[in-house]
Copies of this chain bind each other. A is one copy, B any other.
Amino acid sequence: MHSEDLIEAIKTRRDNLDVTQEMLADLSGVGLRTLKQFESGKGNPTLETLNKLGNALGMELSYRVKEITK
């Protein structure tokens, strides 16, 4: 799956803000287990979960048209 970028986005932002998984779980309302699973690449979170995490970190999810990179 191509979700590594999303995972990296969350992890990087979380680290930059000096927020632990536990803090983010509390802040976002997402279960700690769910967050751990997502960040370790073992999850398939729902949009609601992705939004909760994004909101807590001041980020939003969007679709971007892929550019033709040759």
Given A44-B48, A45-B47: A62 and B62 interface contact (C-beta under 8 Å): yes
How many residues does chain A have at the interface if contact means C-beta atoms less than 8 Å apart?
27
Judge whether B66 and A60 touch: CB under 8 Å: yes
Q: Which residues of A contact B (CB under 8 A)?
A: 1-3, 5-6, 9-10, 13, 43-48, 50-51, 54-55, 58-66
> Can you give 26 A-B contacts (C-beta < 8 A)?
A1-B48, A3-B47, A3-B61, A5-B62, A6-B61, A9-B63, A10-B63, A13-B63, A13-B65, A44-B46, A44-B47, A44-B48, A45-B46, A46-B47, A47-B47, A47-B50, A58-B66, A59-B63, A59-B64, A59-B66, A60-B66, A61-B61, A61-B62, A61-B63, A62-B62, A62-B64
